[in-house]
Chain A
């Protein structure tokens, strides 16, 4: 089984890169030759990836969240999987390349640095932690996708304002759709982050004797959650539109990333396992 895991570990970035190239070709060539088939490549990649994650779970007897590079692989999967679901639901196929790019990066880094023989602390074998991390990752995937659509919205917005009718104008969906995609992925991301926070609040105090609600990571996450929550409520109840919503969403994403970097590297937190 280990040989298969090692083999799939090498195959996965190749598959992601290939899928990315197919999506990029379809976007730039403007010939719609691969419009239908590219989704099949994405499905195959995701299928192989989920098989790889299951093999790892069985082989090592824990969910693949015990080191940064397992997390990266899971993040690559969750970003692409979230996009795949979004593409299936909306049938908007022209934006995949901008999202699959993140999966290519995360999976490539994971493939190069992941280890196949390592000791795992008992706390990381806990199933609730698995749920906590997976929901958090899916949540962050949601807000990442939301940010990508936000950036695409701003690019198309600027192109339209400047009367530039090139590739971006021809290939991207309308501003209204980009705004909706950004908002829907944000709402899904927010919901999953809420699940992750809820599980964390229930489980962490019992798992860690030095647990504290003033921990920088908990405060940072709570602020991110509050920022996104405010944005969603404003959009729904104060009728915010277009650029305003997108800028709010992008600001939330930047804050979330900075908060993650700060709490993972600079701050002293009990909430650090790797």
Chain B
């Protein structure tokens, strides 16, 4: 199989280069016609962490470096060196694709977004008629690997980002997040991520408070939340079950003295304070107050590290799934190679049958002819059943390619299949011409 993959990812290049080479959807659409010069089928996956080209070359003497050159001509990035690209061929390329879709090749192991990105990349190629039987089957298998990895292993379980870990802790304190209210202090990237996670988890009321009110308004609009002017923040603390602070302030925004009256007003109802800012926004002493659950970056990092370790431990199980799907895929692929031989063999026998039937056609009644025709069809079916099944089995097992090749050659020689097919075809063509 001459399937190949060329990749640049977080293992081979720094983020600046990966970002510079990132192809948007429109760019991929423009790049595919370029690829069509060299590949018969192909798919381009491009995310912030990787750009990958998968495909089947048109010619056997194909040079993979020309594909890299085409990519760099299309999107020039000066700093990129040849060693930033890794190439995989045949089984290696299939295994690499399956590892990508399973999320074990991602920067964050078990990344759940990559499977969707693989699907989307395939759909783009499909829309541009750049996929055929082999790539279609291959990407079906890749998606299956991704789905199996999620459902059969713990590769995607547990929070692996600090903001998601914060939400995981919140879930250990409150049962129904849809009845809780949350306050997000700050409107930067981390605050936004936390707000989005809470929103996704169904927190009913999310309020944003930020020194720059415009940014607070922008984030509030995104998550259908409300805003509190920063200067009135402390007066409203008691209204919130969850407080997440992620500002770039150099000093504490909330102190123990701010929290004590709020807790009193809440009559002991628990409040979760997540300080995901560096330096910290909330005085750590607040953790000493009853029913206040305070966590900072260090404590949340413990969860992240634990979950990453758990995910790493799941990699061998995912690899087993990859191997199973590779065996299945190559079984299908190898069977493709014996299909023409099986087809020729059947045609060869059918032609003999037709010739012999033709000879007796005018010598017997129509009823008898129909019976003999039926009988000979069944006879040939039974004669060819075992060789067909055995040949397919050897092909699908993929274990002994030498045996498969020698069996195929033997069949062709014994029945002169290639010669027969050529002669018969030329005879047919000459008949048609006459």
Contacts and interface: CB of A to CB of B under 8 A. Distances in A.
B303 to A, nearest CB: 5
Interface in B282-316: 287, 290-291, 293, 295, 299, 302-303, 306
Contacts of A240: 267-268
A89 to B, nearest CB: 14
Given A161-B293, A165-B303, A242-B268, A174 B173 contact: yes
A241 interface: yes
B196 interface: no
Nearest to A239: B267
Contact of B269 (A161, A172, A241): A241
B363 to A, nearest CB: 71
The interface residues of chain B, by DSSP majority, are classed as: mixed
A157 to B, nearest CB: 9
B169 A160 contact: yes
Contact of A175 (B270, B287, B302): B270
B172 interface: yes
A163 B173 contact: no
A174 B299 CA distance: 18
Contacts of A172: 172
Contacts of B175: 173-174, 176-177, 180
A176 B173 contact: yes
A177 B177 CA distance: 12
B171 A174 contact: yes
B268 A165 contact: no
Interface string B146-174: 00000000000000000000000101111
A184 interface: no
Nearest to B299: A163
Nearest to B158: A170
B291 A176 contact: no
Contacts of A175: 172-174, 270
A241 B169 contact: no
Contact of B172 (A156, A241, A242): A156
A94 to B, nearest CB: 12
Interface centre among B169, B269, B291, B303 (most CB of A within 10 A): B291
B45 to A, nearest CB: 32
B48 to A, nearest CB: 29
Contacts of A165: 299, 302-303, 306
A160 B268 contact: no
Interface string A235-252: 000011111100000000
B212 interface: no
A13 B46 CA distance: 61
Contact of B291 (A156, A177, A243): A243
A41 interface: no
A163 B270 contact: no
B176 interface: yes
A163 B176 contact: no
A243 B268 CA distance: 8
Contacts of B303: 165
A71 B299 CA distance: 48
Nearest to B169: A160
B172 A174 contact: yes
Nearest to A180: B175
Nearest to B295: A163
Given A156-B172, A174-B173, A242 B295 contact: no
Interface string A11-27: 00000000000000000
B172 A160 contact: yes
Contacts of A241: 267-270, 291
A169 interface: yes
A165 B175 CA distance: 18
A169 to B, nearest CB: 6
Given A161-B287, A165-B302, A165-B306, A174 B293 contact: no
Nearest to B176: A176
A174 B167 CA distance: 13
A163 B273 CA distance: 13
A175 B176 CA distance: 11
Contacts of B290: 243
Contact of A242 (B171, B291, B299, B302): B291
Nearest to A168: B172
A242 B270 contact: yes
A174 B174 contact: yes
20 contacts: A156-B172, A160-B293, A163-B295, A163-B299, A173-B175, A174-B173, A174-B174, A174-B175, A175-B172, A175-B174, A176-B173, A176-B174, A176-B176, A240-B268, A241-B267, A241-B269, A241-B270, A242-B269, A242-B270, A243-B291
Interface of A: 156, 160-161, 163, 165, 169, 172-177, 180, 239-244
The 10 closest A-B pairs by CB, nearest first: A163-B299, A176-B175, A241-B269, A177-B175, A241-B268, A174-B175, A175-B173, A165-B303, A176-B174, A174-B172
Given A160-B173, A174-B173, A175-B270, 11 more contacts: A160-B169, A165-B302, A165-B303, A172-B172, A174-B171, A175-B172, A175-B174, A240-B268, A241-B291, A242-B268, A242-B291
